[in-house]
Structure 1
Amino acid sequence: MDTNRGDSYSATVNAPVTGQFAVGRDIAQTSTDLGGAAEHLSPAQVSELAELFAGLRSDVASGAPPAQRAEALSKVVELETAIAAEDKPDLVTMDYVRGWFSKHLPHLAGVVVSLIVHPLVGQLVTAAGESMVAEFHHRFH
């Protein structure tokens, strides 16, 4: 069966491209920026954390209803940014994202929480100091 419907795409770029670039139909691109985590985790651990986020994105993309999928995926990006913040994890945003999923997509809240309480995230929180650890335990345990 030929699935080519005759669509044709082309692009010409006359400038340097430093980010993602795609041409076509139904393209979904994601970017993982775990730069802040790289200061406190080994390269293998950063890769593992990136895989955890990829799994979360996949779970959310497949488990969220179409009407909420884009917003839910944007919350995953917010969570990723909060966890891998440059100086320390942003617990307020992490708590907000957990609450959003609990309210709007409760069947996905567990996978969000499992990432938040993952030992790698705990390692990032611990690196930020004792007061951050205490606040983390207050919010998430």
Structure 2
Amino acid sequence: MESGRYEVQARDVTGQFVVGSHNTVIRSEGPREGAEPVTEEQLTQLRQEFERVRAQLAELGPGGRGAGERLDELEEAVTAEEPDVSVMVYVRNWFLRTLPALAGAVTTLISDPVVGQLVYQAGDQLALEYDRQFGTHRPESNAPNR
């Protein structure tokens, strides 16, 4: 056998099989079978939480310019067929920088269990990114703790 070459014989292998040096393996899964779908009642409750934060924003008056648009972006990102974690990160950071008085309320929206469930339903890769960005680890998630 030449240096740097492998001869491999495998029988009855299921799943991924990687041989060699300096390999990069990327695994992506779609939505998990058996993931509990979010109910309309849960979505309604989540939307009510968004309205609660909008009411807090209205109390701030003109000092919250631009925040309404960010909340709209966040709600759209959270409730999309495939939630957009990058928008969640952007909106959270925007509030931390621009309107810290509401940053806690926005972070609470992002960490709402229904949001976690929506992200989890979209697949493991998205759940991993959500967990990485927000330091969450839901018991039903296979995402590793950091």
TM-score (normalised: structure 2): 0.64
The answer to whether residue 55 in structure 2 is matched with residue 58 in structure 1 is: yes
Tell me, what secondary structure is at the counterpart of 1:89?
coil
Contact in 1 for aligned 2:92/2:103 (Cα 8 Å): yes
Alignment coverage as a number of residue pairs: 100
State the alpha-carbon separation in 1 of the partners of residues 125 and 56 from structure 2.
32
Alignment of 1:71-82 (within 5 A): 71-82=66-77
Identify which of 13, 26, 40 aligns with 1:43.
40
State the alpha-carbon separation in 2 of the partners of residues 108 and 46 from structure 1.
22
Which residue identity is paired with 1:134? Answer: L
Identify which of 41, 64, 86 aligns with 1:69.
64
Cα deviation for residue 73 of structure 1 reads 0.8
State the alpha-carbon separation in 2 of the partners of residues 103 and 65 from structure 1.
18
Identify which of 86, 92, 105 aligns with 1:92.
86
State the alpha-carbon separation in 1 of the partners of residues 58 and 91 from structure 2.
16
The answer to whether residue 114 in structure 2 is matched with residue 117 in structure 1 is: no
State the alpha-carbon separation in 1 of the partners of residues 77 and 41 from structure 2.
20
Q: Paired residue for 1:131?
A: 125
TM-score (normalised: structure 1): 0.66
Relative contact order: is structure 1 or structure 2 higher (C-alpha 8 Å, sep ≥ 6)?
2
Which residue identity is paired with 1:76? Answer: L
Structure 1 gaps of 5+ residues are 1-39
Cα deviation for residue 102 of structure 1 reads 0.2
Cα deviation for residue 56 of structure 1 reads 1.3
Tell me, what secondary structure is at the counterpart of 2:82?
coil
Which residue identity is paired with 1:128? Answer: A
Q: Paired residue for 1:105?
A: 99
The runs of at least 4 aligned residues of structure 1 exceeding 3 Å deviation read none
Cα deviation for residue 41 of structure 1 reads 1.6
Tell me, what secondary structure is at the counterpart of 1:88?
coil
Structure 2 gaps of 5+ residues are 1-36, 136-146
Contact in 1 for aligned 2:74/2:88 (Cα 8 Å): yes
Identity of aligned residues (%): 38
CA RMSD of aligned residues (A): 1.6
Which residue identity is paired with 1:45? Answer: Q
